[in-house]
Amino acid sequence: SQSLQLLLLYHHDLLHHLHLSAMILPSFSSGATESGIVGGREAKPHSRPYMASIQYLGHHSCGGILIREDFVLTAAHCKGPCTVVLGAHDISKKEKSQQHIEVAKYYPHPKYNGTLNYDIMLLKVKLSVSNFIFKKIIPKKNGKTPANIECLVAGWGLTKVNGSCSNVLKEAREKIQFGTECSHIWKHHFRSDHMICTKFTKKSGGVCQGDSGGPLICNKMPQGITAFTFASNCNDPKYPHVFTKVNFFIPWIDKGTGFSANCSLS
């Protein structure tokens, strides 16, 4: 069968070089997308205070979700020396609402081994986030997301295939795909127990290089963490975008944060 390149799509030059040409997988390519939305629209400034920009040497690398005043949820492949930026809309500016906070500790899922499985991580930040930004957000437990429901994705990265990142937060709509269809396309790379995938059109667009770790929000609940897509063209509708299924990991999240609650993203 045809071989397609596997990509883990962070967005800074070093990791871009090391991971965008990382390996070849049979039949399918994965590219855990960095934060960047192809198509879509600019988000209303500061309308999504849970959004985190995870930055390396001052450059956006991945997305994340603030789930508590001292914890951010993101993708495990985003691990590295980084700073979490919260309260941002335009990451190229020094907005009064922004907080740049160092990461105190990285907690990748214990079963994550550098592959596509269990690609989820908690970041314990060194300082608690101010009340101006903080809205308590814990994903819904045991939530079911039916196929064809429309969800929202958001991020700061590539605005077109092989293009540049967006300075402002962008968002787009994607629809939940049937798990059987995801398995048909992605074969053994898709694990329906802890993954979820979406369909989209070229016109509507969606996640692309740079959206790793950013949220898939359905009915105001974070149901997914951006994980991977087709390496050569993130905007090819033949290849569903794949997300780590958040509700599968709720017991691990609760244990890691020492906190249990259900809140929606308002």
CA angle 153, 83, 174 (to 5 degrees): 5
The full length of the chain comes to 266
Structural contact between residues 217 and 65, judged by C-beta atoms closer than 8 angstroms: no
Structural contact between residues 74 and 54, judged by C-beta atoms closer than 8 angstroms: yes
Q: Is residue 13 annotated as a catalytic residue, yes or no?
A: no
Q: Is residue 90 annotated as a catalytic residue, yes or no?
A: no
Sign of CA dihedral 168, 237, 173, 135: negative
Which residue in 29, 30, 212, 241 is the catalytic one? 212
Which residue in 119, 166, 194, 241 is the catalytic one? 119
Which residue in 12, 16, 60, 77 is the catalytic one? 77
Q: How far is it, in rounded angstroms, from Cα 62 to Cα 226?
A: 10
Q: How far is it, in rounded angstroms, from Cα 88 to Cα 104?
A: 20
Q: Is residue 119 annotated as a catalytic residue, yes or no?
A: yes
Residues assigned a catalytic role: 77, 119, 212
